[in-house]
Amino acid sequence: MLRGLYSAGAGMIAQQRRQEMLTNNLTNAETPGYKADQGSLRTFPNMLLSAIGTDHLQQYGTNRIGDLATGVYMQEGTPNFLQGDIQETGNLTDMALLQGVVPEDEESGQNAMLFYTVESDDGDVRYTRNGNFTIDGAGFLTTSQGHYALDADGERINVDNEQIRVNAEGEIFSADDDLLGQLNVALVQDPAQLVKEGDGLLRYEGENEVVTAIGNDDVTYQIQQGFIERSNVDASQTMTEMMSAMRSFEANQRVMQAYDRSLERAVNDVGRLG
């Protein structure tokens, strides 16, 4: 009986975590460049049940009855790097990164991904798909959260004012057609090794080196000025999954309540008869 309590409790915890992940996705449905997290439910190893004292029922030399499930858990959410829709804004500092041909990771079979490189609050390099840039008081190009955009040399890009022109390769020109710098586009071979940090930033924890896609003949991309990449969250599908998670949580909750009532009767009524 206690095994059933544990299984129902594990199911409630798994659905609660799934609900939290889906809620976070829905909250960021309008965040430019946001990549929806996706999780999957897995079962704990099953227990093998065998009968004792039933030698006359043996078949094939075993007393095996069957397997007993021991509950489920939700694996850590992983970002879905599918490119979001492109939306025109008309802002000169908005730049959507359109991914073309990229190499495939030999181990996972997953396609590489392209990202802008930015500087975190700690001065480390981070990666983002959020092209909703702005210009700070000193004339540097930053994300809307204040993180400096970097060029291929890891240097901040000073553009002075918003009157800029950006070509498909990410080169930034002034109103007088002077070259001010070039946005770095990083090539991440194994994007599954990227970890979300908040503010649209991703930290790379893989072993492969992250290189620039600029001048790489195996990579094609295009930067569109005046556009942003929208979140790839499907709001209607996410709400449907949230309702499903809630129903599953409530079903496990009812199972746990039924076990609780059974235990209460076992303690009070059966104990009284003894």
pLDDT along the chain (274 residues), means of 10: 71 87 94 90 57 51 55 76 93 94 79 95 94 94 94 94 94 94 94 90 91 93 96 94 91 82 72 55
CA distance 12 to 86: 38
Q: What is the pLDDT of residue 179?
A: 95
Based on C-alpha coordinates, what's the Rg of the chain?
Answer: 27
Q: What is the pLDDT of residue 6?
A: 73
Query: Nearest-CA neighbor of 132 among 210, 211, 226, 69?
Result: 226
pTM: 0.79
Q: What are phi and psi of 169, to 5 degrees?
A: -90, -5
104, two tokens: 């495939």
3-state secondary structure of 243: helix
Residues facing residue 13 across a β-bridge: none
Q: What is the pLDDT of residue 259?
A: 75
Q: What is the pLDDT of residue 184?
A: 96
Q: What is the pLDDT of residue 178?
A: 94
